[in-house]
Structure 1
Amino acid sequence: MKFRYVYQKVVDLKTNEKTQAEWMLSAAVGILQEEQLSLEQLLEERARTHAALQTEMENRAPMIKLQELQRYMDHLEDCITRKMGDVHRAELNVDSKKSVLNSKMKDEKVWLKAKEKAKEKFQHEMLLREQNELDEIATVRFAMRAR
């Protein structure tokens, strides 16, 4: 007789939910990495622009050129500020997805543990049945030899 868990569909559902939570976490981590990369690029651009501004000031460039570079620097600062907010939101999203995944993992573990206990109980009952059958066979043989 084969073990069949009554709540196997629930176990499968919990496993699927955990897998989906893993995918969602993976996607959130990907977005976070993209945001961080974008922020790094903005910071590098700001450093390059700052160096260009310093060079232009040393070369006594026209005021219009310096003002243009300064406006671009201001724009980059605004972009960096916004991007830092995006990175922060992405980090919060990753934390949220981690929390959901932990919850799903615990849920799945509870159901897997219940299945394991049910299987152990089933195996114990099967061993008892087999032992009872063997005992009955031995009793019958003993009774037949006694006659």
Structure 2
Amino acid sequence: MQNKNMSDIIEAYIKSVLQENQRIEIQRKQIADHFDCVPSQINYVIKTRFTPENGYAVESKRGGGGYIRIMKLAIVDDSEIIDAMLSVIDDTVTLRNAIAIINNLAANDVINQREAEIMFSAIDKDALGKFINAPEVRAVILKNMLLKLKYQETK
């Protein structure tokens, strides 16, 4: 674990707890105390790594009895996960979020690793770097690929 930063360690811990349960409730302060870090570090990990793009839903309640509830999204079929990914793409999408979406598709066996690599190459900085509006172009390309996955032609 010496090459991992604190965010990676916290993420791994939360994911290990989520393997046992589909839903967990945590308190920022307790987790921060456990890892000897500030509660804002916990917020950062949850905000950046436990997103719908990554296959999670998060609810939080602030205050003395506050908690953060993290739920692993249950996917019934491929079209449901594709719809979930389409719903998080606005008119623009960052490269980071696009990568998370593609990784989520691969993790849920909607696409294979080769298809993921092709999708990555279509939305990365090498392909879109010269566009001033790269986040908008990336969103259009990613939405189109997702729709093609959802509505594959039957042979």
- Bigger Cα Rg: 1
Pair in the same fold by TM > 0.5: no
User: Higher relative contact order by CA 8 Å / sep ≥ 6: 1 or 2?
Assistant: 1
Q: TM-score range by the shorter chain?
A: under 0.3
